[in-house]
């Protein structure tokens, strides 16, 4: 039931904007909870990396006194990877196109993360 609800959030997120190519929800210890990732992406690795990025981001932010972590953004030649805290239990990872309108993407991700946190 919760899995269906989480998958629905990802479907809504991916369809909310043509700029979002893929997304996944993973646990803090790197397990996939729900995903809409391309077939060429290894889910288990992306899940572990997302949890690791969030943990390292939180640790780094704390060390340099930047306050609570908002999100992590990786910028590559082919687009963006965004990782966001989705409550105490989960991490939301999103892949966006290189010419994405980031303001809208950030807003959609923020809303989705709040919805995930409510469900979990």
Partner 1 sequence: MTTLVDIMNNVFQAMPENTRFSESDAQKIQENSTVLLDLGDGLISGFYNTVFSHTATASVFEDNERPMREKSLTDWWKRTVNGPFSDEYWAWQTYVGLLHIKRGVSNPMMMSMWSWILDYLNKELVQAGLSETETNALVMSFQRLSSTTSSLIGDSVFRFYLEALINATGFKSSLLERMVKNEIDQLLQDNAQYRLT
Query: Where do contacts with partner 1 occur on this chain (CB under 8 A)?
Result: 28-31, 44-45, 47-48, 51-52, 55-56, 58-59, 62
The C-alpha atoms of residue 100 and residue 2 are separated, in whole angstroms, by 30
The token duo for 48 is 């572990």
The CB-of-30 to partner 1 minimum distance in angstroms stands at 4
Pick between residue 45 and residue 118 the one whose CB is nearest to partner 1.
45
DSSP category for residue 51: H
To the nearest whole angstrom, how small is the minimum distance from the Cβ of residue 115 to partner 1?
Answer: 24
Based on CB atoms, which residue is closest to partner 1, 56 or 74?
56
* Terminal Cα-to-Cα distance of the chain (whole angstroms): 11
Query: What tokens appear for 61 in the block?
Result: 């932010």
Q: Looking at beta carbons only, is 32 or 104 nearer to partner 1?
A: 32
Residue 92, strand partner residues:
25, 84
């Amino acid at each position: 039931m919760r899995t269906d609800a989480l998958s629905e959030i990802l479907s809504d997120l991916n369809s909310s904007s043509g700029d979002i190519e893929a997304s996944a929800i993973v646990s803090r210890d790197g397990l996939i909870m729900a995903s809409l990732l391309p077939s060429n992406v290894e889910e288990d690795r992306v899940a572990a990396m997302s949890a690791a990025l969030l943990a390292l981001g939180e640790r780094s932010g704390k060390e340099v006194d930047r306050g609570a972590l908002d999100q992590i953004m990786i910028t590559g030649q082919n687009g963006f990877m965004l990782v966001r805290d989705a409550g105490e239990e989960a991490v939301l990872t999103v892949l966006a196109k290189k010419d994405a309108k980031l303001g809208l993407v950030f807003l959609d991700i923020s809303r989705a993360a709040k919805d995930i946190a409510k469900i979990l």
